[in-house]
Amino acid sequence: MKSLVFFLGLFLAGSAFAQSEARFEVSGVGMDEVQVLRFDFARQDYVHHSTFRLEEDKPILFHDDFREPTLYQFRFGPEQQVEVAVEGPGLFKLCKKEFFELEADAGSIADFGRAIHQLSDHYFSELKVEYEAAVEKQDMEKLALLEKEKDELLLQFIHDMEAAVRQMGPSAEAYQALSFFDSHKNFGFLAEMAGAFEKQYPQAGMTKALAHRVKRAALVQQGALAPDFTTRDIFSEAVALSDYRGTYVLVDFWASWCLPCLAERPKLVEVYESRRPQGFHILSISLDEEADKWEAAIAKGQMPWRQVRDADGAIAGLYLVSSLPANFLLGPEGKILAKNVTAEQLEALLGELLN
């Protein structure tokens, strides 16, 4: 899908919003209609606003009350859409030609998705080539080394992402950009930005939504009591996280299609076999949708600990897991001691805790 994101910056002074109008003029070629949607911060989704017939020689004119910074989405058919972050009232002219063009009296155009793509190419393009070669050869040792290199580059990548959003300041533009950030890896930055939003726009929908996101993420940070859940394992027997109270347990999210997960498995098996006599456990939660692929991967990986499948993503959602591999080391009281540790890091931690 071709999706371009345009952001308009028109900043208001102070924390109060002057109720006025955002006026839009939309024109273009090659499309019969345009759907306009407005973001509902409470629902965390776009809500239909209007649908217009689009004529090549006649622009669409419409307006909407401006009360606070917000987001609009313009859909030109099923495969093309533009998101517009409006920071204040004014006239915004959007034209669809071969590409989307935007004119704004006091606005700016930014495409954070494209910025991320460029940063990704800068940091990971060479690594990607090596990774694909290792995958083709099924070289698990090489994949494990590349994972370490990726983690080091990721720190620099995240630093640059955060710097770009800080420069935007509290705004609808920044709010949309923050959707690209991971609630675990970037929790500190999300909390920082939530504070900045609260200071400048304390009553805005985007501020309340960001505060809610940070509050929810705090429930699965280090030191928090891990959310309990009950499900069924590969043998259809009931299993609850609370069953592991009084022990050290690694809650391990993975999938049969996650090559970094599979590359780490042999080392994880070694740690488990070494520490199991001391009361260490692993509970693996697969995000596989197909049971046969899940079961085949378990058999191939010779994983002797308890296995469950989270096909609908309910448990992953509870823990805000957005990428794999992901894991949480819990202590005897059920509190999160560490997150996203490698097998080597896990062994070192258990060496301190169990000895």
pLDDT tens-digit series, residues 8-27: 333 333 334 445 888 998 88
Number of domains present in the structure of the chain: 3
- Shared domain check, 154 and 65: no
Residue 274 counted as domain residue: yes
Residue 239 counted as domain residue: yes
pLDDT confidence of residue 259? 85
Of 168, 190, 212, the residue that ends a domain is 168
CATH of residue 14's domain is 2.60.40
Greater model confidence, 59 or 234:
234
Q: Which of 19-23, 71-75, 87-91, 192-196 has the lowest mean pLDDT?
A: 19-23
pLDDT in tens, 210-221: 999 999 999 999
- Shared domain check, 119 and 39: no
- Shared domain check, 301 and 258: yes
Residue 131 domain boundaries = 110-168
Neighbours of 196 (CB within 10 A): 16
Residue 207 counted as domain residue: no
- Shared domain check, 317 and 269: yes
Residue 14 counted as domain residue: yes
Region 44-54 average pLDDT = 91
- Shared domain check, 152 and 126: yes
- Shared domain check, 250 and 148: no
pLDDT in tens, 204-252: 999 999 999 999 999 999 999 999 999 999 999 999 999 999 999 999 9
The answer, as to whether pTM is greater than 0.75, is: yes
Residue 80 counted as domain residue: yes
- Shared domain check, 78 and 126: no
Of 84, 104, 124, the residue that ends a domain is 104
Is there a contact between 59 and 25 (Cβ–Cβ < 8 Å)?
A: yes
Region 249-274 average pLDDT = 94
Of 78, 104, 130, the residue that ends a domain is 104
Q: Is the pLDDT of residue 306 over 60?
A: yes
- Shared domain check, 141 and 76: no
Q: How far apart are CA 267 and CA 281, in angstroms?
A: 15
Sorting pLDDT into bands at 50, 70 and 90, what band is 255?
very high
Is there a contact between 272 and 305 (Cβ–Cβ < 8 Å)?
A: yes
pLDDT confidence of residue 19? 53
b/e burial code for range 34-63 (CB count within 10 A of at least 16 → b): bbbbbbebeeeebeeeeeeebeeeebbeee
Specify which residues 232 forms β-bridges with: 238
Among candidate residues 220, 223, 248, 221, the one with its CA nearest the CA of residue 351: 248
pLDDT confidence of residue 110? 46
- Shared domain check, 152 and 45: no
Residue 210 counted as domain residue: no
